[in-house]
Amino acid sequence: MKHFNLLHMITVLAGIVIMASPARAFDEASSLNTVVTTRAVGPSFVFDRPNFQPLWSLDNKPTLYLISNSHIDTQWNWTVQDTIREYVPRTFFDNFKLFQRFPNYKFNFEGVIHYMFFKEYHPEAWPTLQDYVAKGRWRLAGSWINAIDPNVPSSESLMRQALYGKRFFRREFGTVSRDVYLPDSFGFPYSLPSIARHSGLLSFSTQKLRWGSFIPAPFAVGRWEGVDGSSVVAALRGGNYVQEVRSDVSTDQKWNGDLTHLGNGKKVGFRYYGVGDMGGAPDATSVQWVERALTNTHADARVLNTSADQLAQDLSAEDYAALPVYKGELVMKTHGVGCTPRKLP
């Protein structure tokens, strides 16, 4: 009986420790999450941009970076074979058709594995894609092999995503993208900005925090600082990645109202539009509205239809230093943590 009582006591104490430890650890981690709105000084201000040419010189007119999106879940409620057979070719060929109809339309696409699939299974169309990339119509995004979960894999694994992804882009197109593009991953670790910068990437964007993050997105556009003090330009309120356009986004406050102030009258915003999960292309009506906004010179906001990494390239050192700064995790509480394959070995 004495042995039973001792075992019972140990079990109870262990249970108390187990229940208390996650809460205490979470409280300690949460205390690291901070938002700073003052100008950056000291060693945490790290922003080198060799050989980058700004698309636009920001001025007192608010600028909205509008990103055409077609996210593909390589495997979810379908197989990789379905993606290769249907979703990948639909994404490329449907956007080729939009290029032919709309001269100012630019498309932004991530997931190097999807480019690899397209080259392997549709080699006759590969020169067409290379030509559109060279002309700036088709914009590379992400630089990772795939839009994966960044919480569970090791830092080395994530760096290899960028290493192999950028190598493919550089070999096939002579250029790379400079961003981490994760519109639909389930939470983001404190280490991600550091991993990105050490992989040669400058920016990060998502819309997932609107699905139920533990803390509200600290800003629309700002600077997310990692564990080693290096940082990326982060767009954290990208709207909905599955989004039609049914108004002039240059005048509609629902599109251009969520802006970040850079000082000296400058303001910038970042929004996605398009389709998600099964690829494809934005519908023609959306592109018509976007083209109307691009040419509306009398609007409240300037609209740039471009790539997800262009905002970071357009910021001057002064603009970058004026961004609000966030330090900490960006974790989810509603829509799970982690993206695991449908079938594990």
Q: pLDDT > 70: what percent of the chain?
A: 81
pTM as predicted: 0.85
Q: What is the structure's pLDDT at 47?
A: 52
Q: What is the structure's pLDDT at 333?
A: 81
Q: For 301-337, what is each residue's pLDDT tens digit? A: 999 999 999 999 999 999 999 999 999 999 888 766 5
In angstroms, how far is CA 281 from the centroid of its own chain?
Answer: 18
Residue 326 and residue 223 in contact, taking contact as beta carbons nearer than 8 Å: yes
Q: What is the structure's pLDDT at 3?
A: 47
**Residue-level length of the chain:** 345
The first and second tokens of residue 152, run together, are 């569970």
Domains of the chain: 61-327 (3.20.110.10)
Vertex 183 angle, CA 115 and 319, to 5°: 105
Q: What is the structure's pLDDT at 181?
A: 95
Q: For 209-261, what is each residue's pLDDT tens digit? A: 888 777 889 999 999 999 999 999 999 999 988 999 999 999 999 999 999 99
> Does residue 295 register a pLDDT over 80?
yes
Q: What is the structure's pLDDT at 208?
A: 86
Q: What is the structure's pLDDT at 111?
A: 94
Kindly report each contact of residues 23-31 with a partner whose C-beta sits within 8 Å and lies 24 or more positions away, as own/partner. 29/328, 29/329, 30/214, 30/328
> Does residue 345 register a pLDDT over 70?
no
* 340 Cβ contact list (under 8 Å, min separation 6): 149
